[in-house]
Amino acid sequence: MAETPWSPRSLAVQAMGRIDPLTRAVVPPVHLATTFIRDPDNSYSSGYVYGRPDNATVRDTEAVIAMLEDAGAGALLFSSGMAAATACFMSLDPGDHVVASAVMYWALRRWLLTEATRWGLVVDFVETDDLAQVEAATRPGTTKLVWIETPSNPLWTVTDIAGAAAIAHRAGAILAVDSTCASPFHTRPLALGADIVMHAATKILNGHSDAVAGALASGRESEFWDRVRRFRAGNGAIIGPFEAYLLNRGLKTFHVRAETQARTAAALAERLAAHPLVARVLYPGLPQHPGHDVAARQMANGFGYMLSVQVNGGEAGAVATAAAVRLWKRATSLGGVESLIEHRASIEGPGTPCPADLLRLSAGLEDPDDLFRDLDEAMRHAAA
């Protein structure tokens, strides 16, 4: 990317300064065309051929994400976070070995346990916050991908990205990092040695719970990155242009939202840690969190917008608490402007690493005092 005097925040607000050349509009247009005119010599001087592999609105949004991650090879947008993540695994060869975080987004873990084996992959799950386990699981020459999620959803364990990168590279493998719950505002995995960073862009990058999207970004060109690029084009996994437009819209306020939501999450974590009806708070920003020191080294501007609480009264107490909230919304997903609460064990089902008494919280933009009071009243109602 060319050198610029402007910060990532300024560039994101203005969508990289893109001005529509036809209308001079400050908001990039939505390009819906699926096909494009050939030149008289049968070439495509515009650079666009067909809507399945490429789209101008998608390119505009990819440029913003690549800038936020300082991704030298650029970014690719997908139709969902799962489409982005599975594209990495399906760009491997049958028989390749993968090391993955034992605690990660449940749908991807389930896909790796079921569909990945049909693809011919061999997957070992380890506690990646323990680098000794990562080292022991890698097989030099056979391990092709180490996949970590940090902080991991929904227990918020923290993996040392630089340490994991060193282990992966010694084995001849690629390190990919699901940084959805950190976001580029808090962590930049490529700068810490990762090869690829993934985002479920539906979450805080979009921030408005109105567009499903996924993103991959790579620090450098490579054979593997080219395979991912070809996989997206060949399998039609690109995001739609209107969703790309909504994501670009969300990225304009991303920095402001990420900063405020992290501040709210930290304030809630501190207050809930002292609450008599809370057994435990899981949040990397708390000094007592096992991964706090690593998080403090590799995260900036706070510790993210996600936390979990284990409440008194076991599963019944957790479910009753979620049922009693009024301001928090009982819904799946995270990272939106609205605060969400969810009993994860019942969502994830058998095999979940979630304790039965755990509630996952996504801090939004509401008044932190209101959010705390609502939780406090809900927990007291459940306890009664």
Residue 80 belongs to a domain: yes
User: What average pLDDT score do residues 159-184 get?
Assistant: 98
Token representation of residue 15: 């969508």
Provide φ and ψ at 148, rounded to 5°. Answer: -125, 150
Provide φ and ψ at 237, rounded to 5°. Answer: -95, 10
CB of 131 closer than 8 Å to CB of 162: no
b/e code 170-201 from CB counts within 10 Å (16+ = b): ebebbbbbbbbbbbbbbbbbbebbbbbbbbbb
User: What average pLDDT score do residues 216-239 get?
Assistant: 97
Per-residue pLDDT for 350 more than 90?
no
- Count of domains for the chain: 2
Residue 4: predicted pLDDT: 74
- Pairing mode of beta strands 214-218, 278-282: unpaired
Torsion of CA 218, 222, 227, 233, to 10 degrees: 50
How many angstroms separate the CA atoms of 166 and 303, rounded?
24
> Are residues 288 and 246 part of one domain?
no
For the chain, what percent of residues have pLDDT higher than 70?
99
> Are residues 336 and 243 part of one domain?
no
Per-residue pLDDT for 322 more than 90?
yes
Residue 2: predicted pLDDT: 54
Residue of 61 and 1 predicted with greater confidence: 61
Q: Is residue 356 exposed (0-12), middle (13-18) or buried (19+ Cβ within 10 Å)?
A: middle
Per-residue pLDDT for 351 more than 90?
no
Catalytic (active-site) positions: 52, 105, 178, 203
Tell me which residue range forms the domain holding 200: 8-251
Per-residue pLDDT for 10 more than 70?
yes
Residue 36 belongs to a domain: yes
Last residue of a domain, one of 228, 251, 274: 251
Length of the chain: 384
> Are residues 112 and 15 part of one domain?
yes
> Are residues 73 and 93 part of one domain?
yes
> Are residues 247 and 272 part of one domain?
no
CB atoms closer than 10 angstroms to residue 1? 12
Q: Is residue 376 exposed (0-12), middle (13-18) or buried (19+ Cβ within 10 Å)?
A: middle
Q: Which of 59, 51, 46 is nearest to 33 (CA)?
A: 51
User: Quick one: which H or E segment has residue 267?
Assistant: helix 254-273
b/e code 97-123 from CB counts within 10 Å (16+ = b): bbbbbbbbbbebbebbeeebeebebbb
Token representation of residue 309: 């609480």
How many angstroms separate the CA atoms of 362 and 264, rounded?
10
Per-residue pLDDT for 1 more than 80?
no
CB of 123 closer than 8 Å to CB of 153: no
Query: Any residues with CB less than 8 A from the CB of 351 and at least 6 apart, and which?
Result: none
> Are residues 238 and 259 part of one domain?
no
Q: Is residue 25 exposed (0-12), middle (13-18) or buried (19+ Cβ within 10 Å)?
A: exposed
For the chain, the C-alpha Rg in angstroms (whole number) is 21
The model's confidence at residue 168, banded by pLDDT at 50, 70 and 90, is very high
Residue 3 belongs to a domain: no
Residue 362 belongs to a domain: yes
Per-residue pLDDT for 176 more than 70?
yes
Last residue of a domain, one of 229, 251, 273: 251
CATH (domain of 286) = 3.90.1150.10
Per-residue pLDDT for 144 more than 70?
yes
Residue 18: predicted pLDDT: 86
Average pLDDT, the chain: 96
Residue 1 belongs to a domain: no
Residue 220 belongs to a domain: yes
Assessment of whether the complete model's pTM goes beyond 0.85: yes
Q: What is the pLDDT of residues 270-317, one digit of tens each?
A: 999 999 999 999 999 999 999 999 999 999 999 999 999 999 999 999
Token representation of residue 130: 């323990």
How many angstroms separate the CA atoms of 193 and 208, rounded?
31
CB atoms closer than 10 angstroms to residue 295? 27
> Are residues 246 and 269 part of one domain?
no
> Are residues 191 and 240 part of one domain?
yes
Last residue of a domain, one of 194, 223, 251: 251
> Are residues 161 and 304 part of one domain?
no
Residue 130: predicted pLDDT: 98
> Are residues 273 and 161 part of one domain?
no
Residue 2 belongs to a domain: no
Residue of 248 and 28 predicted with greater confidence: 248
Residue 133: predicted pLDDT: 98
Residue 3: predicted pLDDT: 67
> Are residues 179 and 317 part of one domain?
no
CATH (domain of 166) = 3.40.640.10
> Are residues 283 and 197 part of one domain?
no
